[in-house]
Structure 1
Amino acid sequence: MTDLTYFRDANRSRVTAAGIDTFRYERVTGRLDALDEWTPAFVRTARECLAEAENAAGPVSAGDAYREAALWFHFAAILPDPDALAAEAEADRALERAFALLEPTAERVTGADFTGWLRRPATPGRAPLAVVVPGMDSSKEEFTPVGDALLRRGLAVLAIDGPGQGALATAGRLEPDYHEVVGRALDAVSGRDDVDADNAGVIGLSLGGFYAAVTAAREPRVRAAATVSGPYRLTWDDTPAFVHATLTLRAGGERAARAFAGRVDLAGTAAGIGVPLLVVEGGTDVIPGVVNGAPLAAEAPRGSYLLVPEGDHLVGNVRHRWLPAAADHLANGLSGPAAP
């Protein structure tokens, strides 16, 4: 389905942009002889990070090691293998231990079909809220650096796993009506004096970009949105075997996966996105069966398009070309009065 060399190269920028040391990644993956060694090797490395945390001389070093452990556990689970998904629960626990040391004000927020972390900026007052949405095989752990950028701009951040994602990879199925998931997450933090859930933004990455676009169209509390490498449309019969296998695993079977893919189509939805929308994509991001985000930007009434010509999927190889712009877009969109 996918050979080791291609998989290692294709995920390098994704893994390192999430926070894993480049040289450690090269050492771990360079010792692999076959793709089926990926998950055990990443789990072993995650456990090495846990040991480093336990033996650390101070809480910051321990927290950093737990945060890296969370990433290794998460990336152990990106192969479409049901046995690999168990690592996502360990990623979730490691991130919890990291936040306990590095950011003790972070709060776990959980509902029937989501779980995540609410983080608040250092600035006083009631902060606008940005929801960070992962994609097909990603998770809240992977996009912690995106949350860091939003926090620095004075936004509170709620990074979630929804059905079929991260900590809920084995407890739910991918949900095309993701605006309902985000709505319940906003409900869970509404009425607080430190976070303004009625002044919310959403950023989604990869398949999460589709989720974010649907949410921007249908959730009235969302006032600004951004998508990164999000699909405008999927065509099941044309997508690669890896996408088939991953969707089949996380949607609960091939029939459900086909039905899910058929729902991933923003025609007719894009025109209903009335909030400022930034669509980011990489020029080298070409996946058969996937229509990228240019039509979304063109059809959304307040859409703008940022093409990074040398960018790959998730544009992790040149993050400086889009993350500051996307974070500023959300911060600026949530700082003014509500649109009429």
Structure 2
Amino acid sequence: MSDRPDPSETPGVVDFAAMQWTRATGAGLDPHEYRRVTDGLASVAGWGPAFLRTGQEHLRRAGDAGSSASAGAHLLAAARWFHAATLAPYAEAARAAAAADDALGRALAVLEPGARRLSGEGFTGWLRLPRSPVSDAGAVGTVIVVPGLDSAKEEFLDLASALLARGLAVFAMDGPGQGALAATSTLVPEYEEVVARVVDALGVPRVGLVGLSLGGYFAARAAALEPRVAAVATVSGPFRLDWDELPQPIRDMVARRTGGTDGAREFARHVDLTGLASRVTAPLLVVDGGRDVIPGVTNGEPLARSAPRGTHLSVPHGDHLLGNARSDWLPRLADHLAHALRGTTGGRARTAPAAHRE
């Protein structure tokens, strides 16, 4: 059982901040700053404005910074805070998402001038190249990072860093209904079509995919239906959703991202990998947290069991997105994708030894 507050209940601000703690700090928010900001909140309604103000303060510090390194660090912090502002219902969520997108672009312009913005039908994001490619010909492969229901490309910067460190190029994206595109589009289950357009835009013969939370479903579906996916990993990805069992706050969130309750119910009906799992033939790593227990959500173990080259890594103390257990899965996931894209991974489906409890 999960030891976090029951997601079927509408939480007060103290419980809400506690629920978001490992996600926020796992995404790179300074834990002490997070405590200072959330301790000052009187209600969940104040979450968005407070986080937006904190991001704006980092923008001010970036403008006053005495070096490009300091400016870039503050701009990355601003991007994280602006994105985190969208995690609670907030009338100006679109403004916060746009601010996160802008801050990330400004940070990369300072820190990684070689980063390139790519946009097309249903996607936008940044292509980042490793500073020290393993191969003389450049990156050893390209990985697309796929966000989930209420996440965005600004949330998984540490994952991108781990992949870049292994000589991989990284395209961190927002798709329909996500991040910078949330205000102008809605979620679509046919994410393989989005991935196909991304691969076309990247101009590479094959890619790796890593999907987080609902992005895990998107990545697995794309891996089953898009032949250019050569490696895949999921983190806290659902195998199936049961709309009638989902907690009301999650239903509300899906409704906001799909244009209403009817669209949300129809979208949830499509989130089912039962008929697709066996078609995921690329090397697959499925990461689940033992404390990630949400009514109506079947976690990823059936996907790993059904995929011909699937491996299941269960971290007993891990929560949703495993922000409380980064060292238990992040290095292994990055290695999995690097090895698979180099062609050094193979073997049949298996279950990884569970990580030790803390």
Which TM-score band applies after superposition, normalised by the shorter structure?
A: over 0.9
Look up the equivalent residue of 2:294 and give its one-letter code. Answer: I
Alpha-carbon deviation of 1:6?
2.0
Name the structure 1 match of 2:269: 262
RMSD across aligned C-alpha pairs, in angstroms? 1.3
Residues 143-154 of structure 1 aligned to structure 2 (within 5 Å): 143-154=156-167
Equivalent position to 2:230, from 191, 198, 223:
223
Measured in 1, the distance between the counterparts of 2:333 and 2:124 equals 24
Look up the equivalent residue of 1:329 and give its one-letter code. Answer: H
C-alpha change, 1:338 and 1:220, in structure 2 (3 Å) is farther
Look up the equivalent residue of 1:276 and give its one-letter code. Answer: P
Normalising by structure 1, report the TM-score. 0.96
Provide the secondary structure at the position in 2 that maps to 1:306. Answer: strand
Q: Deviation string for 1:279-311 (max 9, x for gaps)?
A: 001000001110001111111111100000000
Q: Is the 8 Å Cα contact of residues 80 and 249 (structure 1) preserved in structure 2?
A: no
Q: Is the 8 Å Cα contact of residues 336 and 345 (structure 2) preserved in structure 1?
A: no
Alpha-carbon deviation of 1:157?
0.5
Name the structure 1 match of 2:355: none
C-alpha change, 1:338 and 1:322, in structure 2 (3 Å) is closer
Q: Is the 8 Å Cα contact of residues 81 and 249 (structure 1) preserved in structure 2?
A: no
Number of matched pairs: 333
Alpha-carbon deviation of 1:317?
0.4
- Find out whether 1:173 has 2:186 as its counterpart: yes
Specify every segment of 5 or more residues in structure 1 that has no aligned partner in the other structure, as ranges. Answer: 191-196
Measured in 2, the distance between the counterparts of 1:93 and 1:250 equals 21
Alpha-carbon deviation of 1:167?
0.4
- Find out whether 1:6 has 2:5 as its counterpart: no
- Find out whether 1:212 has 2:223 as its counterpart: no
Provide the secondary structure at the position in 2 that maps to 1:280. Answer: strand
Measured in 1, the distance between the counterparts of 2:170 and 2:19 equals 28
Q: Single out whichever of 83-92 and 173-182 deviates more from structure 2.
A: 83-92
Provide the secondary structure at the position in 2 that maps to 1:141. Answer: helix
Provide the secondary structure at the position in 2 that maps to 1:159. Answer: strand
Equivalent position to 1:295, from 290, 299, 302:
302
Normalising by structure 2, report the TM-score. 0.91
Name the structure 2 match of 1:194: none
Alpha-carbon deviation of 1:198?
1.4
Q: Could you tell me the percent identity over the aligned residues?
A: 52
Equivalent position to 1:243, from 237, 250, 271:
250
Name the structure 2 match of 1:163: 176
Q: Single out whichever of 236-245 and 129-138 deviates more from structure 2.
A: 236-245
Measured in 1, the distance between the counterparts of 2:275 and 2:110 equals 46
Look up the equivalent residue of 2:119 and give its one-letter code. Answer: T
Name the structure 1 match of 2:85: 76
Measured in 2, the distance between the counterparts of 1:243 and 1:80 equals 12
Specify every segment of 5 or more residues in structure 2 that has no aligned partner in the other structure, as ranges. Answer: 1-9, 347-358
Provide the secondary structure at the position in 1 that maps to 2:207. Answer: strand
Provide the secondary structure at the position in 2 that maps to 1:198. Answer: coil
Q: Deviation string for 1:125-181 (max 9, x for gaps)?
A: 142110000000000000111111001111110010000100001011001111111
Alpha-carbon deviation of 1:338?
10
Q: Is the 8 Å Cα contact of residues 53 and 65 (structure 1) preserved in structure 2?
A: yes
Provide the secondary structure at the position in 2 that maps to 1:160. Answer: strand
- Find out whether 1:86 has 2:99 as its counterpart: no
Alpha-carbon deviation of 1:79?
1.9
Look up the equivalent residue of 2:27 and give its one-letter code. Answer: A
